[in-house]
Amino acid sequence: MNEQFDLSTLRHTAAHILAQAVKRLFPDVKLAIGPSIADGFYYDFETKTPFTPQDLTAIEKEMKKIVKENLQIEQFTLPRDEALAWADAQGEAYKRELIEGLPDGETATFYKQGEFTDLCAGPHMPRTKDARVFKLTSVAGAYWRGDEKNAMLSRIYGTAFFTKDELNAHLEAIEEAKKRDHRKLGKEMKLFAFMDEGPGFPFYYPKGVTLKNNLIEYWRRVHKRYGYREISTPIMLVGDLWHRSGHYEKYRENMYATSLDDTDYFIKPMNCPGGMLLYNTELHSYKELPLRMAELGIIHRAEKSGALHGLARARLFTQDDAHIYMTHEQAKDEIIGVITLFEEVYAAFGLDDFKFELSTRPENSIGTEEDWEKSTDALRNALEELGREYVVNEGDGAFYGPKIDFHIKDCMGRSFQCGTIQFDMQMPERFDLTYVGSDGQKHRPVMIHRACFGSIERFLAILIEHCAGWFPFWLTPVQIAIIPIAERHQEAAQNVLAKLTAAGLRAEVDMRNEKMGFKIREAQLSKIPVMIILGDSEIEQNKISVRSRENGDEGQKDLAECIEKWKLKS
């Protein structure tokens, strides 16, 4: 590694080498942008026909030539007018648009390598040979500036590293991620599906429903133990409510709307307004506070089609929401309680590598500076009392308050923003929430919005990929597959099934007229952790043969003893 330059600079340079190679092979393409990103880089091009995998092979070959030429990379600047003239002379309309967006009086920065010049703020490596370890990975479509009203461009993705070993490790991780892709495994395991008739709206198979319900039942047990009371609010509410809450102004483009009896309605994109309406139906005393109200609310959001990604980014999901109504004096202890709950839940799924991020006031916020300072201090003090390290993400809070986000790492080292704790002094004001204090007067509570999983669907996506479909025994939809070797063994298999079911275990019998080896492979593909094999020997000895993912072939066992062991794991 060159100690003078970071990975982002290296990848930015590789993006320019990519653009130079494309211009050599396809002179008529128009250049858009080519930044470095978390796992590599990309460059967007306007082209009459999208790039193909064969094109990527040719482009990579040309990139290697450019690296071998060891071109010097030079920076220079031009006044705005000269920069615009350059863009016009090159026929680069996207570059012209970028130059036009520069502040008045600011010069445009360019980088030149050989015959290739590009508008770019930099920085870059000194020479093209410095970015010699790279790989192009895929092609996708992308709207200019991310706006679907703009032209669709062709985006080439790649990655670059300082050493071949780092690149090879990264490419192996990509292949492993493909194997674990929750969309692929969800289909193979018959958990869920997506249909053209409902893009972005998941359909669940019976096994998927069992998996989802198991997760929800666990969620309910934990929240009951932590003193939460579950509520349910309507999926659709009148338009005026969303104006009052402020969500209409912030999220209108993602809200589904309809009209009934000349009144506008919106399908809820979040649960909080309904929860506050419910709070206001009763007169609350300070003795009730803190009041912890949880809701598994079905949410709809009109996500753009290009942003959809299986369960991880869907248009319908179940948000595991909760709102805590409290006094300012109770805030720190309540936040500590939420953090403790979240840590317990994540640990139950083997997700114990996470970081905390404290996000502060954004530009488009509501409320006074004093409110924001008090709210932010409450979150910060809770983290510090628990001794949790955290980073500050300036200006990325919700529009109504600061927040703590949990960033979880899976077994492949990928980070996901999952749980969130959002402090709010604005919604209680907007909805005129009150409680009667010890002085007999009405006072304004403060509140926390919090979600542990974020959504049931998104957490399932993370979990499927983290576990590669091999869920903990207690969570897995089918815990035991019973495989009769021949038709004459099916009655005994049904008797075993009845005993397992009576014990609360989830099992199924494979009654298909297939060979035992095929059935075993099918059970493995379905990620069923335990198999029971039944043949003449097992029936004669009143035993079962057990195969498990954990121990392989365990030989013949007593069914009653196995049931007791499996019940402990459930």
Rg (CA), the chain: 29
In 354-462, where do the E strands start and end? Answer: 354-359, 390-393, 403-409, 415-424, 435-436, 442-443, 446-451
The Cα–Cα gap between 271 and 319 comes to 8
Contact 237, 265 (CB under 8 A): yes
For the four alpha carbons of 171, 172, 175 and 180, in that order, the dihedral sign comes to negative
The DSSP call for residue 133 is S
Per the residue annotation, which of 16, 182, 300, 301 is the catalytic one? 301
* Catalytic residue check, 319: yes
* Catalytic residue check, 449: yes
The Cα–Cα gap between 378 and 474 comes to 37
Per the residue annotation, which of 124, 155, 180, 403 is the catalytic one? 403
* Catalytic residue check, 467: no
Amino acid identity for residue 276 in this structure = M
Nearest CA among 253, 365, 237 for reference residue 307: 253
Per the residue annotation, which of 207, 449, 489, 527 is the catalytic one? 449
What 3-state class would DSSP assign to 521? helix
Contact 99, 137 (CB under 8 A): no
The enclosing H or E element of 176 equals helix 164-180
Nearest CA among 334, 354, 330, 569 for reference residue 454: 354
Nearest CA among 63, 18, 68, 11 for reference residue 41: 11
What 3-state class would DSSP assign to 126? coil
β-strand partners of 43: 156
CA dist 261 → 186, 238, 264, 265, 273 (Å): 41, 11, 8, 10, 22
The Cα–Cα gap between 211 and 475 comes to 6
Question: DSSP for 13-53?
Answer: HHHHHHHHHHHHH-TT-EE----EETTEEEEEEE-SS---H
My answer on whether omega of the bond before 123 falls inside 30° of 0, hence cis, is yes
CA dist 215 → 105, 351, 421, 471 (Å): 57, 15, 21, 11
The enclosing H or E element of 265 equals strand 263-267
Per the residue annotation, which of 20, 319, 330, 426 is the catalytic one? 319
β-strand partners of 135: 159
What is the number of other CB atoms lying within 10 angstroms of the CB of residue 453? 26
In 128-234, where do the E strands start and end? Answer: 134-143, 152-160, 192-193, 203-204, 229-230
The Cα–Cα gap between 92 and 43 comes to 14
Per the residue annotation, which of 132, 207, 223, 323 is the catalytic one? 323
The DSSP call for residue 276 is H
* Catalytic residue check, 321: yes
* Catalytic residue check, 272: yes
In degrees rounded to 5, what are phi and psi of residue 450? -150, 145
What 3-state class would DSSP assign to 70? coil
3-state helix, strand, coil in the chain (%, to 5): 40, 25, 30
Per the residue annotation, which of 120, 272, 418, 452 is the catalytic one? 272
Per the residue annotation, which of 44, 118, 130, 321 is the catalytic one? 321
Q: Which residues are catalytic?
A: 272, 301, 319, 321, 323, 403, 449
